Structure 1
């Protein structure tokens, strides 16, 4: 067993490069960085629970206000259409676009509410058992990456430029409430420390041997729990803290990543060939693809919007597929790895993780425009089949990046 003095020392096993580090006493609002791959290991906040609680409650209040009033309105040929956030899902459901409605409700409303609720519960003084707190933290770890209200807002701003071609667009009270919701939600996520909550549930160290900072975990016969980041013996399959199953290296995840990339590449073809929006004007229907929208915006002189759509919908999905393929090839075929190459690959993976969600902008643009422009046979806009294919590409590539184990980059260094 470890001694009392050693058990008080805080360690962190980097989930990107597997380097074991001894954490110093981190002062308020400072963070500890892995010296090998520069990944953030821990962040300190003296009043983490209080600040997270305040920002989370404020975010939920703003979201309730944003859903209670008119979000945006547009005046088309003498008719004014008002749009409430909840009406987006209702109108999409009435038109039988269940998949698009599900994506909007899940990523923009349900998951942010669930994540904020978990933060409030675990940071408050509720009489919660360690087992219930553990289950909530496992759920938070699996779902927090899929919250996308800020991407929806970016899609709304892009929609404004497109909607000016149909009529006069205006914003209402709920728009500003939703902006405040995004700010408070991002602030609460930054303040929240999963490591601190997990350490309250149980100790982080379940290894009986002495830990050696500065050496990688695989050479010390220890491994990291990818759920709660506890340090475990290499051969221990189940984590005593979160009860999740794991192993020393997830080598089969490379195969899963490559399989998902091939699937997304196949779906990317119909996503660009089929239309994503169907416009009915004076009884005649016309379908437009993603590239048609980019060309239209460019011809209209809206160059920044055209570049945003082209980057988010064309460049990012392609680059993400190529980048993840490169990362898989680096692990499989690169036998002599230099540190600078590993650092480059690690940075590439972090970039892929960050930008992958932003391709959802075009999905939210279609959802907003199709629910606002509804004037019967005069002019109406409806989602087309291509938007489902494109959403599948974005979601599958996000799953592929989560399946990838970045520690494999450093193993042969």
Structure 2
């Protein structure tokens, strides 16, 4: 059996056959239900077209006014970078760096890397350094949060409706379209069609022998016999993309525990301290995350209040509880419902990024409202703590190895291939 026909599930470590797929077809792990492969027809053509459109929209979104704030004859215009600059000037450089990376740098780098990879491949010429470039693109995927930023814009507009007039700019319309274009490019891209164009050394082409240990690459998903990955005598590396191979993530439990505890420590001040102070016509009011939810409720915005409450208060706590449950279950060598625990882990990966909405709200409001004593908004310590909670929980979810859930189930079982 050729190595391309094998898949090692990155969530439960089950070795199984990867069957041919019809256009639009999808394969899932027979044990944990993890999505393994999906056949996307005309992948390179569609991805290239959407990437080129996305780059044009990205330039427009970062070159023109984003929103305008008009109050008593005075006006403030903002661009995507305005809030980031203002946060840095207010001494919140940590938050500014996170917002800059997640709302501008990560999406921009994704588009640029896609263009560098897909354009040469479309004409049959793999670019130099293809494995490294595409590996960087895949690692950036969780950190591009333009969709979350858009939700932050909606919340910000609602908060300012009673204070002043908000006028959308050209960049906002480009930004909205860019969200869908970038999502479409990511959905159209078939990673298998990229990796199959990277040659595999002869030493890694053979199929694993019965009972032989194999390693699966978490980046290009190549299944390789362990001996073939370590023939050079150094640490195991993927023969195709060069990624460091591990049977399990190094010190996964210790790193995850440390990050979960740190996030719990930051979660308390993040919810107790104000995240911003609003000054309007000489009156000053400090808002916490919860008081922001109450504000939306008082203005009849029940759906938006529910979204903010879930994203900013419930989701971070839920992630911490789920990760704690998973850590304890692994350390206690529990065999309880491994498939359901794997699904819980999948949830923590999917929902964590949406907690950034309040950080983006602060960024947008700080950029829009700075009219001196007439109206201004200052970011406070709560925003720093809350931003730390979001980022730390994302790192914690990434540090946890879901294959540990299945180790107790697999203990003593011989290697087998499932079709």
CA deviation after TM superposition for structure 1 residue 313, in Å: 1.0
Q: Does 1:361 align with 2:354?
A: no
CA distance in 2 between counterparts of 1:210 and 1:139 reads 29
1:65 aligns with 60
CA distance in 1 between counterparts of 2:111 and 2:41 reads 20
Q: Of 103, 111, 116, which aligns to 1:116?
A: 111
1:146 aligns with 143
**In the superposition, relative to structure 1, how do residues 336 and 125 fare at CA in structure 2: closer, same or farther (>3 Å)?**
closer
2:293 aligns with 294
| Greater RCO (CA < 8 Å, at least 6 residues apart) | 2
1:328 aligns with 327
2:390 aligns with 394
> CA deviation digits over 1:84-132, x for unaligned, max 9?
2233333334444322322222101111111111111111127976761
CA deviation after TM superposition for structure 1 residue 278, in Å: 1.2
Q: Contact conserved, 1:234 with 1:248, CA < 8 A, in 2? A: no
1:280 aligns with 279
CA deviation after TM superposition for structure 1 residue 203, in Å: 3.3
CA deviation after TM superposition for structure 1 residue 134, in Å: 1.6
Q: Of 221, 225, 230, which aligns to 1:229?
A: 221
Q: Does 1:409 align with 2:401?
A: no
**SS at the partner of 1:226?**
coil
> CA deviation digits over 1:303-329, x for unaligned, max 9?
222222211111000000000111111
Q: Does 1:98 align with 2:90?
A: no
**In the superposition, relative to structure 1, how do residues 48 and 279 fare at CA in structure 2: closer, same or farther (>3 Å)?**
same
> CA deviation digits over 1:173-230, x for unaligned, max 9?
3222111100010011111122322221133993745467xxxxxx651121223222
Q: Of 60, 65, 75, which aligns to 2:70?
A: 75
Q: What residue ranges of structure 2 are gaps of 5+ in the alignment?
A: 231-235, 410-419
Q: Does 1:182 align with 2:179?
A: yes
**In the superposition, relative to structure 1, how do residues 64 and 251 fare at CA in structure 2: closer, same or farther (>3 Å)?**
closer
> CA deviation digits over 1:61-102, x for unaligned, max 9?
112122222222232223232222233333334444322322
TM-score, normalization: structure 2?
0.89
> CA deviation digits over 1:355-390, x for unaligned, max 9?
000000000001111111121112211111110110
CA deviation after TM superposition for structure 1 residue 233, in Å: 2.7
1:193 aligns with 190
CA deviation after TM superposition for structure 1 residue 251, in Å: 5.8
2:120 aligns with 125
CA distance in 2 between counterparts of 1:95 and 1:9 reads 53
CA distance in 1 between counterparts of 2:130 and 2:145 reads 24
Q: Contact conserved, 2:2 with 2:206, CA < 8 A, in 1? A: no
Which deviates the most, 18-27 or 375-384?
A: 18-27
Which 4+ residue blocks in structure 1 deviate beyond 4 angstroms? 126-131
1:206 aligns with 204
CA distance in 1 between counterparts of 2:110 and 2:11 reads 24
CA distance in 2 between counterparts of 1:209 and 1:59 reads 41
Q: What is the aligned length?
A: 399
CA distance in 2 between counterparts of 1:271 and 1:252 reads 28
**In the superposition, relative to structure 1, how do residues 247 and 90 fare at CA in structure 2: closer, same or farther (>3 Å)?**
closer
**In the superposition, relative to structure 1, how do residues 18 and 207 fare at CA in structure 2: closer, same or farther (>3 Å)?**
farther
**SS at the partner of 2:373?**
coil
Q: Does 1:22 align with 2:17?
A: yes
> CA deviation digits over 1:123-177, x for unaligned, max 9?
1127976761122122123222111111100111111111112112232332221
Q: Does 1:169 align with 2:182?
A: no
TM-score, normalization: structure 1?
0.90
**SS at the partner of 1:301?**
coil
**In the superposition, relative to structure 1, how do residues 224 and 210 fare at CA in structure 2: closer, same or farther (>3 Å)?**
closer
CA distance in 2 between counterparts of 1:247 and 1:259 reads 21
1:11 aligns with 6
Q: Of 332, 336, 348, which aligns to 1:352?
A: 348
Q: CA RMSD in A?
A: 2.2
Q: Contact conserved, 2:4 with 2:222, CA < 8 A, in 1? A: no
**In the superposition, relative to structure 1, how do residues 129 and 185 fare at CA in structure 2: closer, same or farther (>3 Å)?**
closer
